[in-house]
Structure 1
Amino acid sequence: MQPTRVLIVDDHALFAEALAARLSREPDLVILPVAADGRRALALTTTERPHVVVLDMTLGAENGLDVLDRLRERHPDVRVVVLTAMSEIDAIVQAIRRGAVGWLSKTERADLVVQVIRSAARRGGWIPPDVLGEVLRRLYAGGPEPSGGARVLGELTPREREVLQCMVDGLNRVEIAERLGLSANTVRTHTQNLLAKLDMHSALEAITLAMRAGMRPATRPPHD
């Protein structure tokens, strides 16, 4: 499997160096030189072609959202995970709307950061579970239904729609595989295909589009 190239963008040198040292211990991750500002981040993204950018929201006088906008505009295939000391839900919602696929606090354990980077590289994402519901509510309520949302969903195969419905229901990949009688790898393939068809960059974006187009979480049967 191809190693995941990771670019850390953070102006806190000690934190960035410690994070880089920790991530470099993972055999499947290649850690690129650290960028301390937006200009350096864009330059390294152009020359080093990272798969995942780990981005702080405060970069000296720069706003991390502005850097996110420039990264997404010039390098739309790059997956951006926010790693920051900020915790405001409005900031999380803005970052997701502008193309971030994950949000982590700097107080999270390193193992979770590694897990989210790997997930982002596989077209997954991460929002803290304690704020996920509120973030989804604001994303859903924050704008008009995307033009042609229902039509776009109509391009999915029946199985892809089943997988998307499971995602709307809040199931993870293992739970989707169990519900549909599929392997986890097959679920991953269907998820990648439906994200590509919807031109989405994360499961969260796909769920938001699906809900705006009329899909709703199914009522789960009570546990025995």
Structure 2
Amino acid sequence: MRSPIRVLIVDDHALFAEALAARLGREPDLVILPVAEDRRRALALTATERPHVVVLDMMLAGENGLDVLDALRKRHADVRVVVLSAMSEVEAIVAALRRGAVGWLSKTESADLVARVIRSAARRGGWIPPDIMGDVLRRLLDETPEADAAAKPLAELTPREREVLQCMVDGLNRAEIAERLGLSANTVRTHTQNLLAKLDLHSALEAITLAMRAGMKPSPPPESPDPLTR
């Protein structure tokens, strides 16, 4: 049985934060820590309570959420940060991802989705809204080093890790990767965690971006058999 996921909500909107904490607290695998309303409290609670995932509002009163994200990542590199924000601009999302966030959710999303993204983040996954994924990837690709430099870290991967990475580039989820490669979901998770660690990346999205910049392309779809020869 997996250990519960410890979650810290950082949001200065008391009613929203308390309602979200109460709802997430009904999830049996989540432990919701006391809410932090500002950077000081967020850093203090992260140090003492050791959350696995921090759900961070980008618009804290008098503070830039990106600065709070920087401080969290600098002092607690292992913490997984998911941004929960009223903003949805691609530039803001890319900035947060480049500074270590592993996911971005709108405050209008359901608590069920927030819970799913928290679970994914805790297992080295992440989340970007599907309707802007293409724009985010293009921006990340524009900001990634040239192909030769991007390809060097990939040389550290084992053949199986490269296969898993190719499946990620193909847009497969963990269950689909397991089915394609004939592996268990747990084994795929281990390979994903290992390749992210070797590449010194925070999320699958960053790994896909680096792989595409290095020249990896989505696999062509399998050819349909000629109906005349079936």
TM-score range, shorter chain: over 0.9
CA distance in 2, matches of 1:73, 1:207: 24
Matched, 1:191 2:192: yes
Residues 100, 147 of structure 1: CA spacing in aligned structure 2 closer, same or farther, 3 A cutoff? farther
Which one-letter code corresponds to 2:76 in the other structure? H
More moved, 155-164 vs 187-196: 187-196
Residues 40, 131 of structure 1: CA spacing in aligned structure 2 closer, same or farther, 3 A cutoff? same
CA distance in 1, matches of 2:92, 2:76: 22
Matched, 1:18 2:12: no
Q: What is the SS of the residue equivalent to 1:6?
A: strand
- Taking the TM superposition and a 5 Å limit, the aligned residue runs for 1:55-66 are 55-66=56-67
Who is 2:228 aligned against? none
Who is 1:33 aligned against? 34
CA distance in 1, matches of 2:48, 2:193: 27
Which one-letter code corresponds to 1:112 in the other structure? L
Who is 1:202 aligned against? 203
Q: State the 1:149 CA deviation.
A: 3.0
- Taking the TM superposition and a 5 Å limit, the aligned residue runs for 1:116-131 are 116-131=117-132
Which one-letter code corresponds to 2:176 in the other structure? E
Who is 1:218 aligned against? 219
Structure 1, gaps ≥5 residues long: none
Q: State the 1:192 CA deviation.
A: 1.1
- Taking the TM superposition and a 5 Å limit, the aligned residue runs for 1:174-189 are 174-189=175-190
Q: Residues 51-78 of structure 1: CA distance to partner in whole angstroms, max 9, x if unpaired?
A: 1000000001111111101111111100
Matched, 1:107 2:112: no
Which one-letter code corresponds to 2:72 in the other structure? L
Q: State the 1:146 CA deviation.
A: 8.2
Residues 143, 149 of structure 1: CA spacing in aligned structure 2 closer, same or farther, 3 A cutoff? closer
Who is 2:166 aligned against? 165
Residues 145, 40 of structure 1: CA spacing in aligned structure 2 closer, same or farther, 3 A cutoff? farther
CA distance in 1, matches of 2:94, 2:164: 24
- Number of residues paired by the alignment? 224
Q: State the 1:221 CA deviation.
A: 2.7
CA distance in 1, matches of 2:223, 2:101: 35
Which one-letter code corresponds to 2:21 in the other structure? A
CA radius of gyration, larger in: 2
CA distance in 2, matches of 1:217, 1:89: 23
CA distance in 1, matches of 2:147, 2:220: 25
Matched, 1:51 2:52: yes
Which one-letter code corresponds to 1:61 in the other structure? G
TM-score (norm 1): 0.95
8 Å CA contact retained: 2:144, 2:150: no
Structure 2, gaps ≥5 residues long: 226-230
C-alpha RMSD of matched pairs (Å): 1.5
Percent pairwise identity: 80
Residues 14, 189 of structure 1: CA spacing in aligned structure 2 closer, same or farther, 3 A cutoff? same
- Taking the TM superposition and a 5 Å limit, the aligned residue runs for 1:137-176 are 137-145=138-146, 148-176=149-177
CA distance in 1, matches of 2:163, 2:82: 27
Residues 82, 146 of structure 1: CA spacing in aligned structure 2 closer, same or farther, 3 A cutoff? farther
Q: What is the SS of the residue equivalent to 1:155?
A: coil
Which one-letter code corresponds to 1:17 in the other structure? E
Q: What is the SS of the residue equivalent to 2:191?
A: helix
More moved, 38-47 vs 99-108: 38-47
8 Å CA contact retained: 2:4, 2:30: yes
Which one-letter code corresponds to 1:26 in the other structure? E
TM-score (norm 2): 0.93
